[in-house]
Amino acid sequence: MRGALMTLAVMSVGMAALWMGTEGGRVLTAEGARRLAVSLDPRPLPDVPLQDQRGEALRFSDYQGQPLLVEFIYTRCATICQSLGESFAQIQERLPVGKGAKLLSISFDPRDQTADLLDYAERNGARESLWRIARPSKDADLRTLLRTFEVTVIADEFGGFEHNAAILVVDKDGRLVEIVDHQPVDKALEALWTRS
Amino acid sequence: MDAILNPPARRSLSPALLAAGALYVALAVPPVRYGLESTLIGHMMVQIPFLAVCGALVGSKFSHRIGPYAIPLLLVAVFASTFWMIPRWLDAAISDPVWELAKFLTIPALVGAPLGASWSRLSSVARGFVWANGISMIWFLGWLYVAAPQRICNNYLLNQQVDFGYTAYVVGVALVLYWVGRCLFGDWRHEGNISNVP
């Protein structure tokens, strides 16, 4: 009898622990947890100073009143970042008229300088009025960005990086409200319509 | 008189406990820890099982004291090991020192020790159940990691994920061979007598 009662107790506690550990059965991965957390609880962006591909200063607050799509990239990327650039290039042509939506690519690679960002912009056909490529000027600011957006960067085996690449949707009030896959681009466009 | 007829049990440091301690320290030192955690195979197939072994070595010293609680203890091990198989928490152990500590504490204490303590008190039916479910879980994990179209863990590369999946298949097969081998050729006469009837 004692064994049976203890079994019951363990099952209750164990299932509760697994329930909490999966956000109610909804999330198994860190990326899933990030996306769920953001969509349930939009978060304000850190006011870190950035520098764009022309060397001009910019901040997230410059985009106040406009929805913004953000991507974290690095310019030396040969593979997935190419497709990240392609995604933004496609979205650039299909931005909803009248919403004033903008695109912002942020490099997390400290080696990327202004010239690298400009090269990236030109390679991907970025139109400066719509899509800017930026970098944080200080390492501490980079860490703040990576922490707020929950971007995890690891080294890949080819001298580059692997990271949880996605499109980060920021609403008109400057809050991160949703995170979507960068392909198909319809997801990001839809998020622009519905969440911003 | 009583002290002569029933001398208190000699409390000496058994080799098993020393081995557990040495293994734990070896797993915890930074070079080994980072080395194992740098690949999914090292993390999930080596570090975590050996952390459980540390706990099991200690737990087995207490199997005579667990009373009717063998099954609940087994369930503790099942739930705790399931928790650490969730990719999110594997990632958390790498990204967050708090979770790393939690892993180093809970895997020996909640996976290894309960398993070690309860194993000798489980009936062969219960043991068979654990083997069969454990092996199928490992195969399922292997399939999941091989078949997943994208990275499951933020801290590991896609090819590491796939390598782990295939390794899990192989380990599953090895365990099946071991288990079946023991069933067919092992000393079944003694195993069948160990039961936990309340």
Q: In which band, very low, low, confident or very high, does the pLDDT at A77 lie, cut at 50, 70 and 90? A: confident
Higher pLDDT, B6 or B30: B30
Q: Is the Cβ of B79 closer than 8 Å to some Cβ of chain A? A: yes
Residue A97 is predicted with a pLDDT of 77
Distance (Å, rounded) from C-alpha B136 to C-alpha B179? 13
Contact list in B for residue A153 (CB cut-off 8 A) is none
Distance (Å, rounded) from C-alpha B51 to C-alpha B33? 11
To the nearest whole angstrom, how far is the Cα of B65 from the nearest Cα of chain A?
Answer: 14
DSSP result, B116-139: HHHHTTS-HHHHHHHHHHHHHHHH
Q: What would the pLDDT profile of B80-128 be if each residue is shown by its tens digit?
A: 999 999 999 999 999 999 999 999 999 999 999 999 999 999 988 999 9
Q: What is the mean pLDDT of residues A99-127?
A: 94
Distance (Å, rounded) from C-alpha B150 to C-alpha B161? 9
The contacts of residue B118 (CB under 8 Å, 6+ apart) are B59, B63, B66, B69, B70, B71, B73, B74, B77
Residue B198 is predicted with a pLDDT of 24
Q: Which amino acid is at A37?
A: A
Strand A131-136 relative to strand A102-107, pairing: parallel
A31 to B154: CB separation less than 8 angstroms, yes or no: yes
Distance (Å, rounded) from C-alpha A172 to C-alpha B114? 53
The contacts of residue A168 (CB under 8 Å, 6+ apart) are A69, A70, A71, A72, A149, A176, A178, A179
pTM equals 0.87
User: Which three-class secondary structure state does DSSP give residue A51?
Assistant: strand
Interface pTM (ipTM) of the complex?
0.88
Q: What is the mean pLDDT of residues A90-111?
A: 91
User: Which three-class secondary structure state does DSSP give residue A40?
Assistant: helix
Q: Are B165 and B142 in contact (CB under 8 A)?
A: yes
| Side-chain-facing half-sphere of B162: CA atoms under 13 Å | 7
Q: Which of A28, A154, A157 sits opposite B155 (nearest CB)?
A: A154
Q: What would the pLDDT profile of A1-41 be if each residue is shown by its tens digit?
A: 888 999 999 999 999 999 999 999 999 999 999 999 999 99
Contact list in A for residue B126 (CB cut-off 8 A) is none
User: Which three-class secondary structure state does DSSP give residue A56?
Assistant: coil
Q: Which of A4, A27, A157 sits opposite B157 (nearest CB)?
A: A157
Q: In Å, how far from its chain's centre is CA A90?
A: 17
User: Which three-class secondary structure state does DSSP give residue A102?
Assistant: strand
Q: What is the mean pLDDT of residues B60-78?
A: 93
